[in-house]
Amino acid sequence: MTDRWVSVEEIADYLGVSKDTVYGWISKREMPAHKVGRLWKFKTDEVDEWVRNGKAGDEFKA
The pLDDT score that the predictor gives to residue 18 is: 95
Is residue 11 within 8 A of residue 3, CB to CB? The reply is: no
Distances (CA, A) of 36 to 25, 39, 62: 17, 5, 24
Task: Measure the CA–CA gap between 34 and 6, rounded to whole angstroms.
Answer: 10
**Domains of the chain, residue spans:** 5-52
- Please name every residue paired with 35 in a beta bridge, in sequence order, or none if there are none: 40
**CB within 8 A of 6, min separation 6: which ones?**
14, 41, 42, 43, 44
* Model pLDDT for residues 4-13, shown as the tens digit of each residue: 899 999 999 9
Is the pLDDT at 1 greater than 50? The verdict is no
The pLDDT score that the predictor gives to residue 7 is: 97
Is the pLDDT at 19 greater than 50? The verdict is yes
* Model pLDDT for residues 23-55, shown as the tens digit of each residue: 999 998 789 999 999 999 999 999 999 999 887
